[in-house]
A and B are shown apart, each in its own frame.
Chain A
């Protein structure tokens, strides 16, 4: 008997025009209506060779030869939405978001980049897809992640590569308090997402976006979430 296990494609998780998106930062929520989208990708992105039972020499911010980061929108009026897969199957990809902030810890002790905790490997998120929803990243201008790789095998990996599917969104910032409340209390369908994670805090909102949203609305959004009304 053959059993087929079908995984939903990460492509179904991309948003479309008119969708509502709420991003949670440390200081509160920024709420957007998406105006347009444009797909792109980076394949392959080479992290290079990784020696047996070793890491990369440094964290990689996924940039081109000129140091321009692929996962960070170069302009303030775009949001990037990314998923990624890994080649080799056993290459363990660890994640900092924002840079220098380790994510996916599990116990009180901070996870290491050689251990069995807090990574995505090529079996979980295959290079050819579908990518795991755990690999989902939302980025805005001035906010970007960094990646590290650990090879747990006794044989060297000649070249560890990543495959990124990236959707670029244009947006309009929502400032209507009633609409914000309805989105955050799930009365209006929208995608709510905590940027970078919750331990120890979501990512700090970049200053330019904080100025755009305004402290009042950020505080209001936190009140709505806490009080649920």
Chain B
């Protein structure tokens, strides 16, 4: 469960072309993502593909898709992070967060903690 003293923030602009964001998860660790907030900057429907990549984005593994119907639509999960919240996503060791959209940019914010 999240420890407030160990939480890190990450802001990323997810592009159409896709890419990796944040640091490489250290050996024997996993990156536990406890919160995600997104905002669609594209003037139309836009899907965010969230995954992880261990080769700087050359290949990636999908984890989840977040849909946005209109421009400036936001996705905020969870609204309120609790002490006993389970992680939403897990990035394995040696990997980075991978983000890709199917239209224009999506602004993203993450709260995560690295732990064994």
Contacts and interface: CB of A to CB of B under 8 A. Distances in A.
Given A52-B23, A122-B3, 6 more contacts: A89-B115, A90-B114, A154-B23, A154-B24, A154-B25, A154-B114
9 contacts: A89-B3, A89-B5, A90-B6, A90-B115, A152-B26, A153-B26, A154-B114, A155-B23, A155-B114
A122 B5 contact: yes
A123 B8 CA distance: 16
Given A52-B23, A53-B26, A90-B114, A155 B5 contact: no
Contacts of B8: 155
B6 A88 contact: yes
Interface string A144-168: 0000000011110000000000000
Interface string B86-116: 0000000000000000000000000001110
B81 interface: no
Interface residues of A, number: 13
A153 B114 contact: yes
A87 interface: yes
Contact of B5 (A53, A87, A153): A87
B90 to A, nearest CB: 16
Nearest to A89: B6
Contacts of A29: none
Interface residues of B, number: 12
A127 interface: yes
A53 B113 CA distance: 15
Residue with the highest number of chain A CB atoms closer than 10 Å, among B5, B29, B113, B115 = B5
Interface of A: 52-53, 87-90, 122-123, 127, 152-155
Nearest to A128: B5
A127 B25 CA distance: 24
A123 B114 CA distance: 12
A127 B115 CA distance: 17
Given A90-B114, A153-B29, A155-B114, A127 B23 contact: no
Interface in B64-103: none
Interface in B1-49: 3, 5-6, 8, 23-26, 29
Contacts of A127: 5
Contacts of B3: 89, 122-123
Contact of A88 (B5, B25, B26, B29): B5
B92 to A, nearest CB: 13
Contacts of A122: 3, 5-6
